[in-house]
C-alpha cells in the first residue's frame, strides 16, 4: 500500500480551468472523501489521479512512483465507476478476473483470488451470473471486487453509492468501510453527498471552482470551517446578523469575521437563557418529522433553522416571539 501525493496540479478543458494549482496529500491506508458542488473539479481530480486526464502542470505520486506520464493501465489502480461499468458480455467471475487475466496471473491463482474476493464482498454463490441478472447492490459489490482483486496501490471510487436507493446505500456504506479497513487500501472517493462523506471518510477535502478549500478530519472541517463556503457546504449554517453581535460571547474579533451557529447547536424557549449566547427571533414554522423536528425562525430578518429531537422542543405558542440560545464554544467564526 502507499499514499498518493498531488502537487500543484493544473488541468484545463479548452479555456475552462478545471483544476487550479491543486496540492493535496492522501495518506497511506486512509479513506479520503472529495466533496464539492458539481463543477468543482472533484471528479476531474479523481480521474487525473487515475490517469484518464493528463494535467498541464504539476506532479502526482502513487507511493514513491511519479505517475504523471504513466498511462492508466500501468498505474496499478483500482477504480469503481458511478454506473459500475460491468462488462455485460462476461460473467461475474470473468468481470472480476479481467484484471488478473490482463496481468497473466496463473489460472489456478486467478480462480483462487476471484473466489476470495467474491467471498469478501459476500457474493460467493453468484460467480456464474451475468451482470444483467444482478440487483443494483450486487452489481455494486461486483464492481468493488473487480477494483480490489488485483491488490492495487490505490482504490478510486467515483460516486460509488449514488445509484442505490437510500436504505441500501446506508448498508453499503458500512460494508464499504469494513472492506476498506480489512484490506487497508488507500481509498479516494468522490461524492456530492455530505452525509456520505462524513460517514465514510477519515479525511475530507472540500473543492470549489477547481481549488481545494479545506482538508482535514470530518469533525474538524465540520466544527472549524475555514470560510463561509465550507461552513455552508458541509452542514448548514445560521449566520448571525451584524446588528445582533453586541452582547454575544464571540470566539474572535467582530472586525474581519463572520459568525454562524449550526442548527443542532441551538436550543429554543420562550425566555432567554442568560448563561449562554441568546438571540430573539420570531417562530415561522415548526415541522414535525418523527424523532426529529425542524423549526424555522426569523432572526432580525434572516432565516434560521433549528434541528432538535422533537421531545426537546418545548410547547410554543403557535407563532410568535421565541428565544434561541447556544453555548459560546459552538459559535463558528470565519474570515469575512
Partner 1 sequence: MADLAAAMDRRRLVTLLSPAYLWLLVAVFLPLSAMLFFSLLTDLPQDAPDWGLTLDNYGQFLTNPTYATLLWKSLKLGVMVTLACILIGYPCALVLARTIRGRARETLFLLVILPFWSNSLVRIFSWAIVLRGNGVLERSLDWLLPFDIRLNLMFTTPAVVIGLVHSYLPYVILTSYLALQAIDDDIIEAARSMGASRWTILRRLLLPLSLPGLLAGAVLVFVPVVGSFMEPRILGGRMGTYYGTVIEDQFIAVYNWPLGAALSFILLAVVLLIIALASPVLKRART
Partner 2 sequence: MTRAALPLLGRLWLALILVFLYAPILVMAAMSFNASPFYQLPFEASTVWYEKMSANPQILAAALRSVLIALATTLIATTLGTMASIALFRYDFPGKRVLQVLLFPPIAIPWLITGTAMLIFFFAVGIGRGTPAVIIGHVALALPYVIVTVTARLSSFDITLEEAARSMGAGAWTVLRRVTLPWIAPGVVAGALFAFAVSFDQFVVSYFLSEPGDSTLPVLIYTAIRKGFTPEINAISTLIITLSMTVMVLAARYSRLGGDR
Distance CA(83)–CA(73), nearest Å, equals 20
By CB under 8 A, tell whether 270 contacts partner 2.
Answer: no
DSSP H helices in 201-270: 218-223, 228-233
CB of 57 to partner 1, least distance (A): 8
CB of 28 to partner 1, least distance (A): 25
Q: Which helix (H) or strand (E) segment is 323 a member of? A: strand 321-326
Residue with Cβ nearer partner 1 (62 or 313): 62
Residue with Cβ nearer partner 1 (48 or 95): 48
CB of 65 to partner 1, least distance (A): 15
What strands, in cross-sheet order, belong to the sheet with 57-62? 16-26, 4-13, 57-62, 65-66
> Hey, which residues does 292 pair with through a beta bridge?
289, 309
Nearest to 173 by CA among 152, 155, 156, 159: 159
Site string for partner 2, 154-183 (x = CB under 8 A): --x---------------------------
CB of 301 to partner 2, least distance (A): 48
Contact partner, 98, from partner 2, partner 1, none, Cβ < 5-8 Å per class: partner 2
Which stretch, 22-30, 145-153, 163-171, 219-227, contacts partner 2 (CB under 8 A)?
Answer: 145-153
Contact partner, 185, from partner 1, partner 2, none, Cβ < 5-8 Å per class: none
By CB under 8 A, tell whether 78 contacts partner 2.
Answer: yes
Give me the helix-helix angle, 107-120 and 136-148, nearest 10°: 130
CB of 215 to partner 1, least distance (A): 24
Nearest to 210 by CA among 50, 59, 9, 53: 9
Q: Find all residues with CB under 8 Å of 281, minimum gap 6, and list them.
A: 297, 298, 299, 300, 304, 321, 322, 323, 324
Question: Binding residue for partner 2 (CB under 8 A) from 33, 41, 55, 99?
Answer: 99
CB of 53 to partner 2, least distance (A): 11
Distance CA(270)–CA(224), nearest Å, equals 30
Contact partner, 142, from partner 2, partner 1, none, Cβ < 5-8 Å per class: none
Q: Find all residues with CB under 8 Å of 8, minimum gap 6, and list them.
A: 21, 22, 23, 57, 58, 59
Residue with Cβ nearer partner 2 (98 or 229): 98
Distance CA(107)–CA(93), nearest Å, equals 13
Q: Which of residues 46-65 bind partner 2 (CB under 8 A)?
A: 50-52
Looking only at the bridges linking them, the beta strands covering 31-35 and 186-191 are: parallel
Residue with Cβ nearer partner 2 (89 or 167): 89
By CB under 8 A, tell whether 87 contacts partner 2.
Answer: yes
Which residue ranges make up the site for partner 2 (CB under 8 A)?
50-52, 71-74, 76-79, 81-83, 85-89, 98-99, 102-103, 146-147, 150, 156
Amino acid at each position: 500500500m502507499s499514499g498518493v501525493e498531488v502537487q500543484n496540479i493544473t488541468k484545463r478543458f479548452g479555456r475552462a480551468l478545471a483544476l487550479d494549482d491543486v496540492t493535496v496529500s492522501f495518506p497511506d491506508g486512509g479513506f479520503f472523501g472529495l466533496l464539492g458542488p458539481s463543477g468543482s473539479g472533484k471528479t476531474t481530480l479523481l480521474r487525473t489521479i487515475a490517469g484518464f486526464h493528463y494535467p498541464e502542470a504539476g506532479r502526482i505520486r502513487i507511493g514513491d512512483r511519479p505517475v504523471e506520464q504513466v498511462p492508466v493501465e500501468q498505474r496499478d489502480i483500482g477504480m469503481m465507476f458511478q454506473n459500475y461499468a460491468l462488462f455485460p458480455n462476461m460473467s461475474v467471475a470473468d468481470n472480476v478476473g479481467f484484471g488478473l487475466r490482463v496481468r497473466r496471473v496463473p489460472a489456478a491463482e486467478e480462480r483462487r483470488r476471484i473466489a476470495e474476493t467474491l467471498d469478501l464482498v459476500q457474493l460467493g454463490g453468484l460467480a456464474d451470473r451475468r451482470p444483467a441478472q444482478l440487483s443494483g447492490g450486487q452489481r455494486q459489490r461486483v464492481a468493488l471486487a473487480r477494483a480490489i482483486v488485483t491488490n492495487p496501490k490505490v482504490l478510486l471510487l467515483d460516486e460509488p453509492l449514488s445509484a442505490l436507493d437510500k436504505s441500501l446505500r446506508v448498508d453499503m456504506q458500512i460494508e464499504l468501510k469494513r472492506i476498506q479497513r480489512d484490506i487497508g487500501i488507500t481509498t479516494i472517493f468522490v461524492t456530492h453527498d455530505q452525509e456520505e462523506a462524513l460517514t465514510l471518510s477519515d479525511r475530507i477535502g472540500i473543492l470549489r471552482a477547481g481549488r481545494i478549500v479545506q482538508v482535514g478530519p470530518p469533525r474538524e472541517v465540520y466544527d472549524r470551517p475555514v470560510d463561509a463556503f465550507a461552513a455552508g457546504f458541509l452542514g448548514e449554517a445560521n449566520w448571525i446578523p451584524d446588528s445582533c453581535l453586541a452582547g454575544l460571547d464571540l470566539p474572535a474579533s467582530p472586525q474581519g469575521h463572520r459568525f454562524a451557529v449550526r442548527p443542532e447547536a441551538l436550543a429554543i424557549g420562550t425566555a432567554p437563557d442568560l448563561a449562554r449566547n441568546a438571540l430573539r427571533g420570531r417562530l415561522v414554522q415548526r415541522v414535525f418529522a418523527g424523532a426529529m423536528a425542524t423549526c424555522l425562525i426569523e432572526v432580525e430578518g434572516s432565516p434560521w433553522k433549528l434541528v432538535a429531537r422533537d421531545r426537546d422542543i418545548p410547547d410554543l405558542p403557535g407563532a410568535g416571539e421565541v428565544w434561541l440560545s447556544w453555548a459560546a464554544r459552538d459559535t463558528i467564526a470565519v474570515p469575512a
